Amino acid sequence: MKPEERIIQLTQELINHNRRYYIEDQPIISDYEFDRLLKELSLLEQAYPHLADPNSPTKRVGGGVTKDFLTKTHRYPMFSLDNSYSLEDIKEWIGRIQKRLSQDPTVSGAEFSYCCELKYDGASVSITYKKGELIEAITRGDGNQGDDITTNVRTIKTVPLKLSAPFPEDFDIRGEVILARSAFNQLNEKRRADGLPEFMNPRNTASGSLKLQDSSEVSKRGLDCFLYGVVSENQLYNSQYELLQKTRSMGFFVPNNSALCHSIEEIQAFISHWDKKRKELDYEIDGIVIKVDRIDLQEKLGFTAKSPRWAIAFKFQAEEVITKLNSVDFQVGRTGAVTPVANLTPVLLGGTIVKRASLHNADQIEKLDLYYGDTVTVEKGGEIIPKITGVKKELRNGNGTKVSFTKACPECGSILERPEGEAAYYCMNHAGCAPQVIGRIQHFASRKAMDIDGIGDETIAQLVNEGVIEDIADLYQLEYKRLIILERMADTSVRNLLEGVDKSKSKPFEKVLFGLGIRMVGETVAKKLVKSFPTIEKLFSADLEALSEIPDIGLKIAESVIAYRNDEKNITLVERLRNAGLQLEKVVNTSVQTESVFTDKKVVVSGVFTSFSREELKSKLEFLGAVNQSSISSKTDYVIAGENMGPSKLQKADSLGIRILSESDFLEMLQS
């Protein structure tokens, strides 16, 4: 292909990818592949300058600007960073800046240090502060102008509305709006319960959340904002490292993971450390940002047309591989939602062999335009769950059959239904579809619900498939003589199972309510419902208005509760649970702890304890005013570590600087 033809082709491809990435939030290639195309175009333009287009993608920052919000011009342009993918690139960059600065007699011979920071994978914003108060927030947009998202940014708890003194009179601070993995997983868990399509990844979810029209919905997303840079008319700080410390003291959320490096060896060690450790973080990073530390040297180095000369980004290799799509299975969950799962030719990804990948729903299959036998790209969503991200259509042989979403339930053959406004298809044969029956009982017996010891998922499936149980109430009718004759059921296992079932009768009302599996009633919602309606009778007799008036409940959840109680089969089921001796009313604790050292502290409990069970410890913490967390994040205040706590959790807590308490430490704090 002639140079002029290749330049035209690359220009159009990059314009299209820019549009998909920045405007539509639907990229179809990786960052690495985009940067490779951009670099090829840049080299061609340098070799044939007479062919370069003034509107080339190499001459601008980012893409266009959406029109849904008021467009505003940045007071100071938001430049992009040059990317590198090897240590050699970093060495060349250091050589260039040292050569440039060596020509300045005021800095000739000076020793240079570099501030290394994590490169957060989110949505860039610029926030203006005057006299210590937030004035406006603008998206990066095309680098010169962006969308005014002030109302939405105000809902982000890690963005201070007023600063702690001392602070500059007037400045802009730059940061990255991100969604933690734990918050992302919680969002998707709720969307699954609501029958809504799952979000694809934290980065796009954070970006999309900033463009929601309703700021109250934004506040529910659990967004964070990590700040990393300040710009103003005057030089406010002597170094980037000092800037990070001072902005943290003003109240900004600045993760304490930066390092001051004095050599290429120290930079390499920092990169290598976080390339291995990044999977342990609760948020996603896609590289390391390296900056000349001294601000006066940054000013001397200046900018190119699109990037600062004094900074560069080292990008980690994307966790993505290519393999073949062999077939698609359709799985039925406990709610009846049918999910497509791709069967792949086994391939190594992120240190594990991947054979299956999520396809999410019918819309995703259609969007990918999948055919059996396709060569597909696979990555780990949030670096955890494998998913198909693209198709190598140029490798098709033309003999494949198009993948279509099934019209019938793969388990019971019932015709699937897709409720209006929802992405998922459902099997409505709730009582006669085995995976739904098994799933509901597994949910009821799970650790977060009734926590029944001695009965795992496989045992439940066996009991359903052999006709021993049909619903959750049947668990309380199990007898030794019926179980002992079953395959893989020895005397000890049967007795443990029956003992676990009997002990579950003492679980509190909110656990039973959550275990019922009412759509959209998760752990938190169950607790709020029980707080307002302390008996099952009061809950099931409440009308739509009374239910929806409960804080954070809303109309949809209220309708779901009413739909459940209006089904006569469910009323009969609950009555059988009552007769079995389960707790269907709240036990009121008359003693109240008004304040303690754990009040409003976020705590993770892990391991085995001698003085109490894990559930008893969590109940005690709730009584003391603490907030129990299921996983460690940067917001965790304490980790209470028992015996046999996993080493990865300990390492994560240690890396985040979270205080780790032993059982004796906890008891001493209570006594003091």
* Overall average pLDDT of the 373-392 stretch: 80
For residue 161, give the 3-state DSSP assignment. Answer: coil
Least confident of 62-71, 98-107, 492-501, 528-537: 62-71
On whether the CB atoms of residues 157 and 214 are closer than 8 A, the answer is no
Query: For residues 378 and 320, what is the distance between their CA atoms, to the nearest angstrom?
Result: 5
Residue 94's pLDDT is what?
A: 93
Domains along the chain with CATH numbers = 3-59 (1.10.287.610), 83-315 (3.30.470.30), 320-425 (2.40.50.140), 434-580 (1.10.150.20), 602-671 (3.40.50.10190)
E strands along 71-200, which residues?
A: 71-73, 83-84, 114-120, 123-130, 133-139, 145-147, 170-179
Written in H, E and C, the secondary structure of 366-426 is HHHCCECCCEEEEEEECCCEEEEEEECHHHCCCCCCECCCCCECCCCCCECECCCCCCCEE
Q: Which of residues 65 and 102 earns the better pLDDT score?
A: 102
Which residues on neighbouring strands pair with residue 605, listed in sequence order?
Answer: 640
DSSP state of 149: -
3-state secondary structure of 139: strand
256-313 tens-digit pLDDT:
889 999 999 999 999 999 998 988 899 888 899 999 999 989 988 888 767 899 999 9
Res. 18 pLDDT band, cuts 50 70 90:
low
Helix (H, G, I), strand (E, B) or coil at 75: coil
Res 240 pLDDT > 90: yes
- For residue 20, pLDDT over 70 is answered with no
Average pLDDT over all residues of the chain: 85
329's enclosing H/E stretch is strand 320-332
Burial degree of 211 (CB within 10 A; 0-12, 13-18, 19+): middle
Contact 379, 355 (CB under 8 A): no
Helix (H, G, I), strand (E, B) or coil at 281: coil
Q: How far apart are the C-alpha atoms of 467 and 627, rounded to whole Å?
A: 41
Amino acid letter for position 62: G
pLDDT digits (tens, 9 = 90+) for 449-458: 999 988 989 9
Greatest pairwise CA separation for the chain in angstroms: 93
- For residue range 559-605, what is the model confidence (pLDDT) as tens digits? 999 999 999 999 999 999 999 999 999 875 544 455 778 887 888 88
**491-514 pLDDT, tens digit each:** 999 999 999 999 999 999 999 999
Question: In this structure, are residues 114 and 261 in contact, taking their beta carbons and an 8 Å threshold?
Answer: yes
Residue that is written with structure tokens 């994560």 in the block? 652
Secondary structure letter of residue 58 according to DSSP: G
Kind of pairing between the strands at 114-120 and 83-84:
unpaired
| Exposure on the CB side of residue 403, measured as CA atoms within 13 A | 26
pLDDT of the residue at 466: 92
Query: Which of 59, 67, 119, 246 is labelled catalytic?
Result: 119
Query: Is 69's pLDDT higher than 80?
Result: no
Q: How far is CA 148 from the centre of its chain?
A: 25
Examine the pLDDT at 555 and tell me if it is beyond 90.
no
* Full-model pTM: 0.47
Distance between start and end Cα atoms, the chain: 78
Residues 6+ away with beta carbon under 8 Å from 168: 129, 230, 232, 236
Across the chain, how many H-helices and E-strands are there? 24, 21
> pLDDT tens digits, residue range 414-457?
999 998 777 889 999 988 899 999 999 999 999 889 999 889 89
C-alpha 606/C-alpha 513 separation (Å) is 25
CB atoms within 10 A of CB 195: 19
Mean of pLDDT values over 368-378: 93
| pLDDT band of 384, cuts 50, 70, 90 | low
Long-range contacts of 404-411 (CB under 8 A, 24+ apart): 404/365, 405/330, 405/340, 405/361, 405/362, 405/365, 406/330, 406/338, 409/332, 409/338, 409/433, 410/329, 410/330, 410/331, 410/332, 410/338, 411/332, 411/435
Q: Which of 75, 76, 53 is nearest to 7 (CA)?
A: 53
Whether 119 is a known active-site residue: answer: yes
Question: How many other β-carbons are positioned within 10 Å of the β-carbon of residue 595?
Answer: 9
161, pLDDT greater than 90: no
Q: Give the tens place of pLDDT for each residue, 98-153.
A: 888 888 777 766 678 999 999 998 899 999 999 888 889 999 887 888 889 988 88
% of the chain residues with pLDDT over 70: 92
